[in-house]
């Protein structure tokens, strides 16, 4: 292993999310999940364990501000040198104009993850997963994705000097292919059903490191990835003046973001910096919502039918145990959000100056869906990705008007300005 | 005027950029430029003067870090309350992989302005201009633009609760219209020649505040806007460990960004925080390059033919005095960058994980164009906007392959991976 011995990471091992007493060496990352507790029917994820008792664990919090992922190195898996594209350090925006627009009497904050290097939260995850690829001396990175995850993996792989293969289904938003190609990725469109088998072949034949999921019965993902999302919790804590929110609402596909943010807050409590952990609310499209169904049925993960949803980035049909763990561990809930509530949230954000893809607005959509049952305390909605990523773009350009005042005035009347 | 009397802004007046001894009251913003020195043939811009001797002027630098525009309030025109969408605080990225890819032996840093609320540098400018609209109690905001400037003005107006009219030419990249509409802007496509007359009518008939240019013979823009760009200089200074770069290379249309960044560095020197000011290099598409031509001809601004360029965001045909002032005042130059050099820079950035629109890569393109004549000292290239803004998207999606290894292997061979 080409692990940098100078790293200040306090990571000690991989451990089972189901049974934290079951630990494995930190290297290599076990990208097929927990080998002891997984079965053919249910596959369980791993996470990274840290020596939180070490003095450097609270160093970044003592400094009072951390601007880069590497500033959190003690609490992250080892990061590769030079991988920094400026991920993290996103603003926490006062959400009161948005709450007012939606008729919510909630102390609302919006964490805008579209202000990341590839304009989504995924850059935090891939800073960790691509670092793992570098430190394993992998020949490259392979990822199955047609959206934010693939683009982020491609960008950070490019930064790290690693080739990246993106297995994408046909039918992604067309601009996504330009996006992926700009990073020099090899973009291969194959039927969705073939992607996992091909990922495994690229891993075994080419020595590439997989940064997306390999386990078909339940999502386990990369054990190092969700650790990157912990930095969202750390930043929110500092940005709220060393306060912990009462609730965090998170767009939820496989539950990695939900779990990572929750884990970050649990570490703040373990470090003695905070006395509570927020309730974690998963926002899933009602058309799918595998976590909602798993919790309702008392399962560790569920599989759901591929009912149509426009929330492409979180419209997963297979859940994973991380989501169950974060919701149950925090006293939260998984909210099945209607397409209408997501659209309402997306529109309210746009009308307040924040353009999110539909999935990116799902956390706020869940807050709308909670209606009069609003959670107490400061509430943080995580906005995950730019509106440019959405399907259904571009809309129709406006008709060109003659440049006369009369014609313009008619249009302004139609728009309610005159 | 509804100016917040509690503001801590040290702004004292507007003053002529041509003759700084000529001052005007701070309010209202003189959006048609310098009334004393302008003529029908040449219109001159205004800037904002500050009481730099006040103790609070260096407060944000003493704190060691500023994360929001409002943290710089002493050195900015008065900002409206609640206008913060998280503009600024963008990363300064180690550019050594990009320099190596381009064969440059330069200490290179990249300031990624695509990590802003509307994914371009314009959010810094419009935080100031839309604040001016709010504090003037304007009925709304009007902007003539088909790209970054209009979208940013629309977003920040939405945040401020002001209606926004965007006068756009037909033929912008189609996704730009979705972008503008998401913010609730009234998007009106009119022939380019009609835009300035209509802007004036919207100002005079509706009481809207103009945040784009009103002067046809030379660009003067909004007097408060470039002040927002000073924060790029402040951030770079802190991010470089309180060092000043030897040179800054800036994509240049009307020269507002160039001037604002230069002014920020001159203030650092006036405040005694720095001993030098970087050489400012304007990067213009060679097909247009009004600043390059003005400097070559000894003019205060030039007008050039509308020769074709793909760098839509900076392909202006009319220059302005701010660019002349910043280049001459700093010992810099205006570089006419070929389309090829811009494409080379854009590709090198993408292959290193940073996807910029073509205009956004022009500063790096200028560094390429300088060849063996590289400037000394740390060099900062400002990257202005996301690749999603470019024209010519989307490209062709890849053909779907059957999910067999043989088919995938052929593609990987074509991509140089196998």
Which 3-state string (H, E, C) describes A58-80?
Answer: HHHHHHCCCCCHHHHHHHCCCCC
On the 0-12 / 13-18 / 19+ scale of CB atoms within 10 A, B53 is exposed
Residue B300 pLDDT > 80: yes
Q: A85 vs B91: CB contact, 8 Å cut-off?
A: yes
More confidently predicted of B403 and A262: A262
pLDDT at residue A3, rounded to an integer: 42
Indicate the pLDDT class of residue B3, thresholds 50, 70 and 90: very low
Q: Residue count of chain B, please give it.
A: 418
Q: Report the distance separating Cα B262 and Cα B230, nearest Å.
A: 7
pTM above 0.95, yes or no: yes
Closest to B178 in 3D by CA, of A320, A59, A392? A392
User: Given A89, A397, A417, which is nearest B186 (Cβ)?
Assistant: A417
Q: Which residues have a Cβ under 8 Å from the Cβ of A23 and sit 6 or more positions away?
A: A13, A14, A15, A16, A49
Structure token digits, residue B214: 């009103």
Contact pairs from chain A to chain B, CB under 8 Å:
254
Q: B65 vs A67: CB contact, 8 Å cut-off?
A: yes
Q: What ipTM is given for this predicted complex?
A: 0.96
Q: B198 vs A405: CB contact, 8 Å cut-off?
A: yes
Contact B88/A90 with Cβ under 8 angstroms?
Answer: no
**Nearest residue of B to residue A387 by CA position?**
B179
Residue B126 pLDDT > 50: yes
Task: Please report where in the chains the tokens 């990073």 appear, as a residue.
Answer: A183
Tens-place pLDDT, residues B219-230: 999 999 999 999
Q: B181 vs A65: CB contact, 8 Å cut-off?
A: no
Q: B411 vs A179: CB contact, 8 Å cut-off?
A: no
Residue B6 pLDDT > 70: no
Residue B396 pLDDT > 90: no
Angle between helices A122-135 and A225-239 (to 10 degrees): 140
User: Given A386, A398, A417, which is nearest B163 (Cβ)?
Assistant: A417
How far B367 CA lies from chain A's nearest CA (Å)?
20
Closest to B224 in 3D by CA, of B12, B47, B23, B45? B47
User: Given B85, B351, B393, which is nearest A93 (Cβ)?
Assistant: B85
Q: Which residues have a Cβ under 8 Å from the Cβ of B390 and sit 6 or more positions away?
A: B173, B312, B357, B358
User: Given A195, A353, A388, which is nearest B158 (Cβ)?
Assistant: A353
Question: Which residues are B282's β-sheet partners?
Answer: B250, B334
User: Given A175, A397, A405, which is nearest B177 (Cβ)?
Assistant: A397
C-alpha angle A21-A22-A24 in degrees, rounded to nearest 5? 130
| Rg from Cα positions in chain A | 21
**Nearest residue of A to residue B156 by CA position?**
A353
Q: A355 vs B112: CB contact, 8 Å cut-off?
A: no
DSSP single-letter state for residue A391: T
Q: Report the distance separating Cα A282 and Cα A153, nearest Å.
A: 24
Q: Report the distance separating Cα B231 and Cα B76, nearest Å.
A: 9
User: Given A89, A158, A168, which is nearest B89 (Cβ)?
Assistant: A89
Q: Which residues have a Cβ under 8 Å from the Cβ of B104 and sit 6 or more positions away?
A: B367, B368, B374
Strand, coil or helix: A325: helix
> What are the pLDDT tens digits along chain A (418 aa)?
334 444 699 999 999 999 999 999 999 999 999 999 999 999 999 999 999 999 889 887 887 556 899 999 999 999 999 999 999 999 999 999 999 999 999 999 999 999 999 999 999 999 999 999 999 999 999 999 988 999 999 999 999 999 999 998 877 777 888 899 999 999 999 888 888 899 999 999 999 999 999 999 999 999 999 999 999 999 999 999 999 999 999 999 999 999 999 999 999 999 999 999 999 999 999 999 999 999 999 999 999 999 999 999 999 999 999 999 999 999 999 999 999 999 999 999 999 999 999 999 999 999 999 999 999 989 999 999 999 988 777 777 888 888 899 989 998 999 999 8
Strands (E) located in A190-264: 208-210, 247-251
E strand or H helix at B28, and its extent?
none
E strand or H helix at A143, and its extent?
strand A140-144
**Nearest residue of A to residue B412 by CA position?**
A186
Query: What is the SS3 assignment for B91-132?
Result: CEEECHHHHHHCCCCCCEEEEECCCCCCCECHHHHHHHHHHH
> Before B394, cis peptide (omega within 30)?
yes
Strand, coil or helix: B32: coil
Q: A186 vs B68: CB contact, 8 Å cut-off?
A: no
How far A50 CA lies from chain B's nearest CA (Å)?
28
Tens-place pLDDT, residues B158-215: 999 999 999 988 777 778 888 999 999 999 998 888 888 999 999 999 999 999 999 9
Strand, coil or helix: A13: strand
Q: Could you tell me if residue B285 is left (phi over 0), alpha (psi between -120 and 50 degrees) or otherwise beta? A: beta
> In B20-85, which ranges are continuous DSSP H helix?
59-63
Indicate the pLDDT class of residue B65, thresholds 50, 70 and 90: low
Question: Which residues are A382's β-sheet partners?
Answer: A111
Q: Report the distance separating Cα B259 and Cα B74, nearest Å.
A: 19
Q: B351 vs A158: CB contact, 8 Å cut-off?
A: yes
pLDDT at residue B391, rounded to an integer: 77
CA dihedral B122, B126, B128, B134 (to 10 degrees): -170
| Cβ-Cβ contacts under 8 Å, A352 against chain B | 158-159
Structure token digits, residue A264: 């970050």
Strand, coil or helix: B211: coil
Q: A177 vs B397: CB contact, 8 Å cut-off?
A: yes
How far A40 CA lies from chain B's nearest CA (Å)?
23
Strand, coil or helix: A55: helix
């Amino acid at each position: 292993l080409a692990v940098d011995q100078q790293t200040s990471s306090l990571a000690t091992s991989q451990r089972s999310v189901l049974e934290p007493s079951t630990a494995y060496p930190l290297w290599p990352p076990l990208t097929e999940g927990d080998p002891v507790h997984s079965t053919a029917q249910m596959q369980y994820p791993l996470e990274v364990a840290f020596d939180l008792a070490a003095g450097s664990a609270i160093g970044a919090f003592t400094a009072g501000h951390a601007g880069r992922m590497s500033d959190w190195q003690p609490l992250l898996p080892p990061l590769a040198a030079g991988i920094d594209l400026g991920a993290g350090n996103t603003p926490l925006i006062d959400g009161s104009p948005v709450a007012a627009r939606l008729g919510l009497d909630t102390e609302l904050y919006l964490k805008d993850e579209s202000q990341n290097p590839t304009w989504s939260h995924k850059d935090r995850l891939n800073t960790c997963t691509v670092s793992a690829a570098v430190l394993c001396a992998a020949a490259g990175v392979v990822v199955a994705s047609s959206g934010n995850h693939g683009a982020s993996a491609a960008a950070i792989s490019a930064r790290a000097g690693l080739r990246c293969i993106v297995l994408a289904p046909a039918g992604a938003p067309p601009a996504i292919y330009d996006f992926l190609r700009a990073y020099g990725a090899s973009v291969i469109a194959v039927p969705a059903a073939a992607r996992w088998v091909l990922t495994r072949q690229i891993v075994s034949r080419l020595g590439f490191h997989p940064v997306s999921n390999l386990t078909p019965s339940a999502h386990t993902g990369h054990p190092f990835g969700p650790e990157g999302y912990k930095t969202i919790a750390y930043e929110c804590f500092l940005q709220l003046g060393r306060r912990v929110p009462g609730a965090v609402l998170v767009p939820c596909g496989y539950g990695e973001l939900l779990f990572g943010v929750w884990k970050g807050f649990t570490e703040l409590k373990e470090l003695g910096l905070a006395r509570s952990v927020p309730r974690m609310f998963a926002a899933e499209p009602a058309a799918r919502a595998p976590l909602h169904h798993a919790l309702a049925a008392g399962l560790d993960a569920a599989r759901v039918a591929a009912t149509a949803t426009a929330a492409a980035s979180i419209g997963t049909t297979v859940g994973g145990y991380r989501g169950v763990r974060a919701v149950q561990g925090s006293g939260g809930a998984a909210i099945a959000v209607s397409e209408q509530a997501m659209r309402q949230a997306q529109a309210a954000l746009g009308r307040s100056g924040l353009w999110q893809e539909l999935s990116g607005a799902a956390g706020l959509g869940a807050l709308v869906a909670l209606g009069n049952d609003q959670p107490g305390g400061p509430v943080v909605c995580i906005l995950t990705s730019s509106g440019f990523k959405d399907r259904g773009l571009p809309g129709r350009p406006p008709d060109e008007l003659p440049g006369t005042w009369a014609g313009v005035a008619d249009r302004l009347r139609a728009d309610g300005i005159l």
